[in-house]
């Protein structure tokens, strides 16, 4: 099972991202564009998680072994540092392109000066520490928070994809962290949330908890 941990978006934000994606599409001659339901921000990519008991014939045993792994991963997302983070926002304000083996992946990138950037990096770093501790592999490449707009983009002329001051702001609310499954269903790349954890709900006391660190309910707990 191919797994990753991500932040998913509201419909309103997806529509804003899609408007930008449309600008990319109109300049591309070919490409695979992220479908609306797949737009997300990856926090950690685990890749294929082997089901240890897959070779054991009894389906029930295999299922319970998988459940155990998912339970461990759910536990990571529920880690007090992660789930104790107060909801925050990240503004996405620029675009760019990763080129790998001649293929262009176009993305929307987080504002390097937004207040949420250190918080999302802290969540990523925590995940990168906990995931191997629980026995899973994780992609350790440097974290550059981005939203993939399209892959394998081909174009005849240089792409001009800018976000102007008159464009609607793309500010993502980070209020839930999700363990996601990636699979091809009837030929379509499909992402499904297997487990999600809402970040700390201020209404239940965080706002008035008197913490010095505004990003956490209790950063000392771990």
Q: How far apart are CA 44 and CA 136, in angstroms?
A: 11
Tokens for 110, please give them. 């987080």
- Exposed/middle/buried for residue 145 (C-beta within 10 Å: 0-12, 13-18, 19+): buried
Whether 43 contacts 127, CB under 8 Å:
yes
Among 27, 83, 171, 182, binds ligand 2AM (CB under 6 A): 182
Which among 39, 66, 36, 37 has a CA at the least distance from the CA of 50? 66
Q: How far apart are CA 6 and CA 118, in angstroms?
A: 16
Closer residue to ligand 2AM (CB): 16 or 40: 40
Restricted to residues 78-97, the positions that interact with ligand 2AM (CB under 6 A) are none
Closer residue to ligand 2AM (CB): 4 or 81: 4
**In the bound complex, what is the minimum distance in angstroms from residue 192's beta carbon to ligand 2AM?**
12
Interaction between residue 4 and ligand 2AM (CB under 6 A): yes
Closer residue to ligand 2AM (CB): 33 or 200: 33
Closer residue to ligand 2AM (CB): 106 or 200: 106
> Angle at CA 39, nearest 5°, toward 79 and 8?
30
Among 27, 42, 83, 190, binds ligand 2AM (CB under 6 A): 42
Which among 133, 116, 16 has a CA at the least distance from the CA of 79? 133
Beta strands in 64-128 (DSSP E): 88-100, 103-110
Restricted to residues 119-178, the positions that interact with ligand 2AM (CB under 6 A) are 139, 148
Closer residue to ligand 2AM (CB): 142 or 164: 142
Closer residue to ligand 2AM (CB): 98 or 222: 98
Interaction between residue 195 and ligand 2AM (CB under 6 A): no
Among 9, 33, 45, 92, binds ligand 2AM (CB under 6 A): 45
**In the bound complex, what is the minimum distance in angstroms from residue 51's beta carbon to ligand 2AM?**
18
Tokens for 134, please give them. 């629980």
Residues with Cβ within 8 Å of residue 158, at least 6 apart in sequence: none
Which among 202, 151, 132 has a CA at the least distance from the CA of 173? 202
**In the bound complex, what is the minimum distance in angstroms from residue 55's beta carbon to ligand 2AM?**
25
Number of residues that bind ligand 2AM (CB under 6 A): 6
Q: Residue numbers of the site for ligand 2AM (CB under 6 A)?
A: 4, 42, 45, 139, 148, 182
């Amino acid at each position: 099972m191919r797994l990753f941990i991500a932040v998913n978006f509201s419909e309103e934000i997806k529509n804003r991202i899609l408007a930008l994606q449309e600008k990319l599409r109109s300049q591309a001659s070919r490409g695979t564009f992220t479908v609306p339901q797949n737009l997300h921000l990856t926090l950690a990519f685990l890749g294929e998680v082997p089901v240890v008991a897959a070779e054991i014939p009894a389906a029930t045993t295999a299922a319970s072994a998988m459940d155990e792994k998912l339970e461990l991963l759910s536990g990571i997302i529920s880690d007090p540092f992660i789930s104790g983070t107060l909801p925050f926002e990240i503004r996405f304000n620029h675009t760019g392109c990763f080129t790998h083996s001649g293929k262009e992946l176009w993305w929307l990138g987080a504002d390097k000066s937004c207040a949420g950037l250190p918080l999302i990096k802290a969540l990523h770093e925590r995940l990168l520490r906990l995931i191997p501790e629980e026995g899973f592999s994780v992609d350790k490449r440097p974290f550059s928070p981005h939203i993939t707009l399209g892959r394998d983009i081909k174009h005849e002329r240089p792409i001009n994809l800018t976000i102007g001051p008159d464009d609607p702001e793309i500010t993502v609310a980070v209020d839930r962290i999700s363990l996601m499954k990636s699979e091809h269903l009837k030929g379509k790349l499909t992402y499904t949330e297997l487990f999600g954890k809402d970040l700390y709900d201020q209404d239940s006391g965080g706002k008035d908890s008197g913490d010095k660190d505004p990003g956490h309910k209790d950063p000392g707990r771990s």
